[in-house]
Amino acid sequence: MDILTQIANNKKTEVALRKSLIPISQLENSILFNRNTLSITQKLQQSSSGIIAEHKRRSPSKAIINQNLSVSEVTKSYEKAGACGMSVLTDSKYFGGSLDDLILARASCNLPILRKEFIIEEYQILEAKAHGADVILLIAAILSKEKIKQFSELAQSLKLEVLLEIHNEDELQKSLIPSINMIGVNNRNLKTFEVSIDTSKHLSSLIPDDFTKVSESGISSVESVIELREYGFLGFLIGEHFMKNDNPQKCTSEFIKKLKS
């Protein structure tokens, strides 16, 4: 059983517990549920950097990355540095995140925010909306084509954009649905944890131009971003490279300045 399957199985129990504690009506009545959302696809299309900076305390592949910085501090740092958007991990067991992190990030910046989560039920999409997200992540490896369509259409009805994550060509083929805004290629092999941007390069020509292309995982150099741009990628989701630094604002700012120059 690979790590993604383990996480998805754990998520079923976790979501069932939250549903028993917080009814959908309570989510729909939250202050943030009716806020006007921000478009990350527009930001990426207009940006000279395309950086989506991520808040991530730990991960199954790297264990602890950085648990010393507050969400608010990191969020403000990313916005000041010029990031296009922000990704917030909300999984607790494997990544040390929470929905509270999402609320704190929303209160600390005016960037479009992606809820980075392992979504297996519609309830989690309503949660994302109620906690201030602008974008949700759907992972093709744990969802059927029918679920991808169902979840993405619900997200669009809530004015949430959708980033659909793939690892290979088979996952891409079941994900070409009009209600998807962005196709994200995860460069990490979930069985070995090895990372290679060649995965993004290989899949880039197979992704129709209707979708904004985003490359995820293993991006730690300006050279990699420049290289991936030549393959049509507009977005670059970077977390570990920035988060492992004690001064994420300086690190992110210098990275983006190099890109722009």
Does the pLDDT at position 61 exceed 90? no
Query: Distance between CA atoms of 165 and 219, rounded to whole angstroms?
Result: 16
Point out the residues that are catalytic: 54, 56, 116, 165, 186, 216-217
Sequence letter at residue 193: F
Q: pTM score, two decimals? A: 0.95
CA max distance for the chain:
52
Sketch the domain layout of the chain as residue ranges: 3-260
CATH number of 3-260: 3.20.20.70
Does position 256 have pLDDT exceeding 80, yes or no?
yes
C-alpha–C-alpha distance, residues 66 and 103, integer Å: 19
CA atoms within 13 A on the CB side of 161: 22
List, for residues 190-231, the tens digit of each pLDDT value: 777 788 999 999 999 999 999 999 999 989 999 999 999 999
